[in-house]
A and B are shown apart, each in its own frame.
Chain A
């Protein structure tokens, strides 16, 4: 910079330059100050969540230390300390429901990962009409969980449902699906996995297309085998997304309520009663509100751990991607 000739600046630019806003005085001015912009913008959302979500949660946290029956609102709750929590941890019923849930989660998420992965390989390449066929596969994911429960209730219907009928044409004997615990659990897994495999497919597809093309071109030159190409090039790119799919689906399947509630109503016996269905029964059929609240808090803790793992995985993937 050698020349120091003053530059002609148009007057309106000067006037507008740093902070020419009308400075409101008083409380409103304080409220509208630039440093309070962030808090002001998020305040309505936080307030709504506190009123409708956080306050009831705190309230049920309090209730979890009481013996309380929501049917008799006017009967005062009785303080019983940690008894509800002790019960929740020692009651074999609770462990039984956790086991049911775990079996469904493991079975269903495993099937989803495999089927979703295969579907993703099928749809990885561009081909005519791909967009329309993709829609057929993606549709189940957007349906209502309760609607899917109703679907499968019809399909599994012992005399008229098409699945028992198909089996019967092969075996010749009537086939009842929901009569034994094992078959009932498999039936729920089928319904849930059918609905959510497209979710895994979508994530794996996103991973597949993120692989840089030049890596494949290099592999082509090196005459790497298909398996090797998959293991050393493709897999590292989809690994993080597979992990995300696994965590997300684990969280969601852990909450499974609608499908067993509609399809099996927890039966036969209590063999398909998941933790959510159990909580529902406890709170709204037996009205053991205090106890249900305590158990709910234990479940909530598990979900918080899983959610933070999920967000951690998201961060890791972002920093990997750069």
Chain B
């Protein structure tokens, strides 16, 4: 398989590095600013001009999880531990389900095309491309009727369906890339279809499945509209709580909000780096490979 790195044409020297570094840093500055603010004390955070050199403090991160009560008693836990757990639990479970169902479907679409295969795939992609707000109007009503809103089962079922189109298209693109000769050889030798899938096709797409998993977890981790309308106080995810935090009447606590955002985005930024080679495929739902 050809290298999937973000490839380049020609060579350039350190001069290009300098230019690119300047532009990249400016481009990344909004993220950098938030991360810096997260480590600043309140007065440093509001100082002008922006302080680039300061003594870092972890107090903002502590106050994300623990709030000191007014009476000066013991610190009381904020809900954020729960919200981070919810984001991970809901994301992980729904993506795992979507990936299992999606891999089976992707293998079917790739190896045993149905009549009207492309129509099915198109419809599946459309359920993904449509504005979430359209789907959520009836879902919101149905969830209330069936008592599913605010439950883990409801939101996990919804996110499974939300991740399914993405998983199918992504995993199908990996199956499509495989060289068929080896499978055919195995069939000639009398391997059952299950064995062809399990021993030949699947091992070749493990890396792709891992990339799909991580991508889908990021998408779910970032998702806001469904979570806003369909999670309750116990199942609330991080993005919803962040947006609620800025809505507070007490005025914005910059340090706290930045610390929250930092905890929320740092995993994504790090994972993006690991996924760099699959990024093009991931952001286009597997429709563009190279």
Which A26-54 residues sit within 8 Å CB-CB of chain B? 34, 37-42, 44-46, 48-49, 51-54
Q: Is B9 an interface residue (CB 8 A)?
A: yes
The answer on a CB contact under 8 Å between B30 and A160 is no
The answer on a CB contact under 8 Å between B164 and A307 is no
Q: A286 to chain B: closest CB distance in Å?
A: 12
The answer on a CB contact under 8 Å between B193 and A139 is no
Residue of B nearest to A14 (CB): B190
Q: Which residues of A contact B168 (CB under 8 A)?
A: 45
The answer on a CB contact under 8 Å between B11 and A127 is yes
Q: B287 to chain A: closest CB distance in Å?
A: 5
Which B147-190 residues sit within 8 Å CB-CB of chain A? 157-158, 160-161, 164-165, 168, 189-190
Q: Which residues of A contact B7 (CB under 8 A)?
A: 205, 209
Q: Is A276 an interface residue (CB 8 A)?
A: yes
Q: By CB atoms of chain B within 10 A, which of A48, A145, A150 has the most?
A: A150
Q: How far is the CA of A97 from the CA of B284 in the complex (A)?
A: 27
Q: Is B21 an interface residue (CB 8 A)?
A: yes
Size range of the chain A interface in the assembly = 35 or more
The answer on a CB contact under 8 Å between B142 and A146 is no
User: Looking at the complex, which one of A34, A45, A127, A135 makes contact with B17 (CB distance below 8 Å)?
Assistant: A127
Q: B262 to chain A: closest CB distance in Å?
A: 10
Q: Which residues of B contact A17 (CB under 8 A)?
A: 190
The answer on a CB contact under 8 Å between B269 and A154 is no
Contact with B along A120-145 (1 / 0, CB 8 A): 00111111111101111111111111
The answer on a CB contact under 8 Å between B254 and A160 is yes
Q: Is B93 an interface residue (CB 8 A)?
A: no
Q: Which residues of B contact A131 (CB under 8 A)?
A: 5-6, 276
Q: By CB atoms of chain B within 10 A, which of A21, A135, A144, A292 has the most?
A: A144
Residue of A nearest to B224 (CB): A146
Q: How far is the CA of A45 from the CA of B160 in the complex (A)?
A: 10
Q: Is B218 an interface residue (CB 8 A)?
A: yes
**Known contacts A146-B224, A151-B30, A257-B131; is-contact A46 B105 (Cβ 8 Å):** yes
Residue of B nearest to A17 (CB): B190
Which B219-253 residues sit within 8 Å CB-CB of chain A? 221-225, 229, 239, 242-243, 246, 252
Which A148-180 residues sit within 8 Å CB-CB of chain B? 149-155, 157, 160, 162, 165
Q: A141 to chain B: closest CB distance in Å?
A: 7
Residue of A nearest to B21 (CB): A133
User: Looking at the complex, which one of B27, B257, B279, B287 makes contact with A314 (CB distance below 8 Å)?
Assistant: B287
The answer on a CB contact under 8 Å between B127 and A137 is no
The answer on a CB contact under 8 Å between B261 and A150 is yes
Q: B13 to chain A: closest CB distance in Å?
A: 6
* Stretch with Cβ within 8 A of A (4 or more), from B72-80, B112-120, B204-212: B112-120
Q: From DSSP, what is the main secondary structure of chain A's interface residues?
A: helix
**Known contacts A45-B104, A56-B135; is-contact A129 B17 (Cβ 8 Å):** yes
Which B118-157 residues sit within 8 Å CB-CB of chain A? 120, 122, 124-127, 129-142, 144-145, 157
Q: How far is the CA of A150 from the CA of B240 in the complex (A)?
A: 11
Q: Is A199 an interface residue (CB 8 A)?
A: yes
Q: Is B200 an interface residue (CB 8 A)?
A: no
User: Looking at the complex, which one of B229, B284, B288 makes contact with A284 (CB distance below 8 Å)?
Assistant: B229
The answer on a CB contact under 8 Å between A194 and B190 is no
The answer on a CB contact under 8 Å between B122 and A126 is no
Size range of the chain B interface in the assembly = 35 or more
Q: Is A289 an interface residue (CB 8 A)?
A: yes
Q: Which residues of A contact B144 (CB under 8 A)?
A: 70, 73
Which B66-107 residues sit within 8 Å CB-CB of chain A? 101-102, 104-105, 107
* Stretch with Cβ within 8 A of B (4 or more), from A80-88, A218-226, A297-305: A297-305
The answer on a CB contact under 8 Å between A276 and B133 is yes
Q: Is A187 an interface residue (CB 8 A)?
A: no
Q: How far is the CA of A56 from the CA of B148 in the complex (A)?
A: 14
The answer on a CB contact under 8 Å between A52 and B190 is no
The answer on a CB contact under 8 Å between B239 and A147 is yes
Q: By CB atoms of chain A within 10 A, which of B111, B192, B273 has the most?
A: B273
Q: Which residues of A contact B158 (CB under 8 A)?
A: 52
The answer on a CB contact under 8 Å between A144 and B11 is no
The answer on a CB contact under 8 Å between B120 and A144 is no
**Known contacts A40-B108, A52-B160, A293-B137; is-contact A300 B10 (Cβ 8 Å):** no
Q: Which residues of A contact B52 (CB under 8 A)?
A: none
Q: B275 to chain A: closest CB distance in Å?
A: 8
In the complex, 16 of the A-B residue pairs with CB atoms within 8 angstroms, ordered by the A residue number, are: A38-B108, A56-B139, A70-B144, A129-B17, A131-B6, A134-B276, A138-B272, A143-B268, A144-B265, A150-B242, A154-B257, A206-B290, A244-B288, A303-B131, A307-B126, A314-B287
